[in-house]
Amino acid sequence: MDNLKKIIIALCFSMSLSLSARGQFVSELGPSASPCCMPHVAAQLANELTDWNQMGRYHADDMRLERAPAVQGRVVFLGDSITDGWDLAKYFPGKPYVNRGISGQTTPQMLARMYADVIHLHPAAFILLAGTNDIAGNTGPETQEMVEDNIRAMCELAASNNIKVILCLLTPISDYTRKQSDQRPPADILSLNHWIESYAPDVHAQIADYYAALVDDKGMLREGYSDDGLHPNAKGYELLAPVAEAAIEAALK
């Protein structure tokens, strides 16, 4: 292994440790101090990460759908691992729903994918579940306003292309099986959800209240509906499916 690869691995490891130590929105975002060599190492690392937004993940399928005849009532599900792990064909049989979730993604990455993975597919609507990984700091620290701006930009792009918008409230987390609240403080989830609810009328968006579907009386993700306190299991998706379907029907009326 050459020295460059060792440096990249060490940098990735140190970054993962710093991001996994704690996650939450920051009140202010300022420049961080770095060693003199850090910009050079970061530039080398950036050259290695040629698809940071994972535009290639769905490229072939996007091209297939673009070449195919238009489908009435198509809905694109855009999101992170909670969307990525959802078998839409199983929970919405016969529906022209397209899954464009990518595990671990944050709102800036999804924003970069809006044209390729949503707009160019000419859906009637898109349903967005995003923000939990921003809170966790998966792609670096963010203020809540930064996340709001990314969501706002995605909604405005959709609306300007005559695509109906459905905004999902973030799902709760729990510490019942694994400690999740350090990475995703419930207060930050509630704060972003309150903003999403208040913003939705601005773009005539429907709300899919995933939070209410999964939360228990302690403000946590219901025990037994997730295996890790973050991702819904089969029972969890069974609760989310009718919420999504009702919001899609309302949006497409």
User: pLDDT, tens digit, for every residue of 20-77?
Assistant: 445 777 777 665 555 556 665 566 556 546 788 899 999 999 999 999 998 999 999 9
The model's pLDDT over 88-134, given as tens digits with 9 standing for 90+, comes to: 999 999 999 999 999 999 999 999 999 999 999 999 999 999 999 99
Instruction: Count helices and strands (H / E) in the chain.
Output: 12, 5
Query: Which pTM was predicted?
Result: 0.84
Query: Which positions ≥6 away from 14 have C-beta within 8 Å?
Result: none
Reported as type and span, the H/E element at residue 186 is helix 186-199
The model's pLDDT over 149-185, given as tens digits with 9 standing for 90+, comes to: 999 999 999 999 999 999 999 999 999 999 999 999 9
Distance linking the first and last C-alpha atoms of the chain: 59
The domain limits of the chain are: 1-19+32-50, 59-252
DSSP, collapsed to helix, strand or coil, labels residue 99 as strand
Provide φ and ψ at 152, rounded to 5°.
-60, -45
Reported as type and span, the H/E element at residue 91 is helix 88-91
The CATH superfamily holding the domain 59-252 is SGNH hydrolase (3.40.50.1110)
Query: Which positions ≥6 away from 187 have C-beta within 8 Å?
Result: none
Query: Which positions ≥6 away from 5 have C-beta within 8 Å?
Result: none
Q: What angle do CA 209, 213, 215 make, to 5 degrees?
A: 110
